[in-house]
Amino acid sequence: MSTGTLTAAPVPAPAAPTPHARRRIVLVAALLVLALAAFFGVRAVMAHAADVRSGTEAVSAEEFGARTGAKISLIGVTAGGGMIELRYQVVDPDKASLLLHQADKRPVLVVEDTGETLAMVSRPHNHKAELNLGGTYFFIMANTRNAIHDGSKVTVIIGDVRLEHVVAQA
């Protein structure tokens, strides 16, 4: 049995890439950058093409209340600009209750000058089983990407109707 020391065999240094391999790496990287740019460009164009306002009917504030059961009284920018309060007064409890119980009746807000869209993705929290005629209620929504500011003109969409030019307040 030998008690000598072990020595590691020298590891050869990695070979430098050949000019052909370097060109291939640069070409693959360029194609990857172009593919990412195309992906995000198409995504941005599709976002503008899929405007949620299309297919809805612009109505007056009175007609909006009659069709949805809710009269919009405030779009408030709150919580340091991070949240939006959509306050409404119930003018028809049966119609307004659909805002709480049907996903396609949840309010959607569109900033008119940018097209930014804020939508409720989950069912709103509600302690009461019934909405009262004349009662004032509200939804709180995240102000994603700080889309709505004091003075922003906003379109409110509920179902197939929209109320345009509601001015947000801080």
For residue 25, CA distances in Å to 17, 35, 96, 121, 151 come to 10, 15, 60, 42, 51
Show the DSSP H helices in the chain as ranges. 19-49, 61-68, 93-96, 98-101
Task: Using alpha carbons, select from 87, 91, 73 the residue that is nearest to residue 133.
Answer: 91
Q: For residue 45, what pLDDT is reported?
A: 39
> How many helices and strands (H and E) does the chain possess?
4, 8
What is the mean pLDDT of each successive set of 10 residues along the chain, which is 170 residues long?
Answer: 63 73 74 58 45 91 97 96 96 92 90 92 68 93 94 96 96
SS3 content of the chain, % helix, strand, coil (to 5): 35, 30, 40
CATH class of 57-167: mainly beta
Cα separation, 156 vs 13, whole angstroms:
65
